[in-house]
């Protein structure tokens, strides 16, 4: 599946620029946390980013660290480069490799640190174990995987009715349009597939219902080109899968918005031996 409903690099960058503050992009507290962990390493370390997240790439550019960018969608990575500190598709410190994340264990090199901002959410829940296994195989001994993901929201938020959601927003219980966008996605959460996404919400609610939140949030205009679909399992089930390959060293939650309680960042350390 394509992340965006356009292949034009300039348009992708323009649209992606509108998503700052929403779940599809890391928040300032998350970026600061990433920097803390990346800066702990040395120039001799080897790094890999799943995808082309501009905020993460800017950190590596600012620290003058070489990094591998891994993604099957070259145009997305190049477009996001326009939103980095360097403001060019591919900076000189970056090596771009076109490959499906689930097939990345065939790469000849190993890494000391992997980082993925919502990357694991882009594969189906059935493929989470394979993603984690691949990350394990890509790491050197004692390597770290910084895994930021979305997890399943509370049932009461999924079962919310849109009329009640509108009342909550109007009386200020939903403090920002960023939380509002997430809450709209939550009520369209697919419990069987553990999935949610912008187009899924647009299709489920339709223009008439989404227009109730204008002018504060023009959901359709904002996300009409964003085709990201996130597979968001219950947090406990995710952690159970990680234990096969990793030790959980640390857990961090961004704090800017209410929705952040469903956006944990895991510091995962490679186990000496996988629990096959």
- For residue 273, the model assigns a pLDDT of 86
Question: 6: pLDDT confidence band, cut at 50, 70 and 90?
Answer: confident
- In this predicted structure, what is the pLDDT of residue 2? 65
CATH top-level class of 9-151+233-270: alpha beta
Tokens of 246: 């990793």
CA distances from 97 to 52, 74, 78, 108 (A): 11, 8, 12, 12
Q: What is the mean pLDDT of residues 195-202?
A: 96
CB-based contact 16:79 (threshold 8 Å): yes
Question: Does the pLDDT at position 229 exceed 90?
Answer: yes
Q: What is the pLDDT of residue 274?
A: 83
At 40-99, the pLDDT tens digits run 866 679 999 999 999 999 999 999 999 999 999 999 999 999 999 999 999 999 999 999
Mean pLDDT of 183-206: 97
Q: Are 110 and 139 in contact (CB under 8 A)?
A: yes
Task: Break the chain into its structural domains and give their ranges.
Answer: 9-151+233-270, 155-231
Q: What is the DSSP letter of 75?
A: H
CA distance 7 to 114: 27
pLDDT at residue 5 in the model:
78
The string of pLDDT tens digits covering residues 108-158 is 999 999 999 999 999 999 999 999 999 999 999 999 999 999 999 999 999
Q: What pLDDT, on the 0 to 100 scale, is given for residue 70?
A: 98
Rounded (10°) angle between helices 74-81 and 54-62: 60
pTM above 0.85, yes or no: yes
Averaged pLDDT score across all residues of the chain: 95
Residue 234, phi-psi category: left (phi > 0), alpha (psi -120 to 50), beta (remainder): beta
Distance CA 55, CA 117 (A): 10
% of the chain at pLDDT higher than 90: 89
């Amino acid at each position: 599946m394509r992340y965006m409903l356009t292949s034009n690099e300039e348009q992708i960058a323009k649209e992606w620029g509108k998503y700052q503050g929403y779940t599809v992009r890391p928040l300032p507290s998350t970026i600061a946390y990433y920097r803390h962990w990346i800066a702990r390493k040395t120039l001799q370390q080897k790094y890999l980013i799943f995808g082309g997240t501009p905020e993460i790439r800017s950190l590596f550019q600012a620290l003058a660290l070489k990094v591998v960018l891994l993604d099957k969608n070259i145009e997305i990575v190049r477009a996001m480069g326009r939103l980095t500190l360097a403001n060019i598709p591919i900076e000189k410190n970056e090596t771009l490799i076109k490959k499906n994340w689930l097939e990345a264990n065939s790469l000849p090199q190993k890494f000391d640190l992997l980082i993925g901002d919502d990357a694991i959410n882009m594969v189906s829940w059935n493929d989470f174990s394979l993603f984690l296994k691949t990350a394990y195989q890509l790491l050197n001994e004692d390597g770290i995987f910084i895994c930021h993901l979305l997890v399943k929201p509370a049932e009461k938020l999924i079962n919310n009715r849109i009329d009640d959601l509108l009342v909550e927003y109007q009386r200020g219980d939903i403090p920002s349009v960023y939380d509002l966008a997430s809450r709209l996605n939550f009520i369209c959460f697919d419990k069987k597939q553990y999935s949610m996404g912008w187009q899924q919400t647009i299709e489920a609610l339709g223009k008439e219902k989404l227009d109730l939140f204008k002018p504060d949030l023009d959901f359709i205009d904002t996300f009409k080109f964003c085709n990201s679909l996130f597979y968001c399992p219950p947090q406990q089930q995710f952690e159970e899968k990680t234990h096969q390959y990793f030790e959980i060293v640390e857990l961090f939650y961004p704090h800017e918005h209410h929705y952040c309680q469903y956006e944990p960042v895991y510091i995962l350390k490679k186990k000496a031996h996988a629990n096959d």
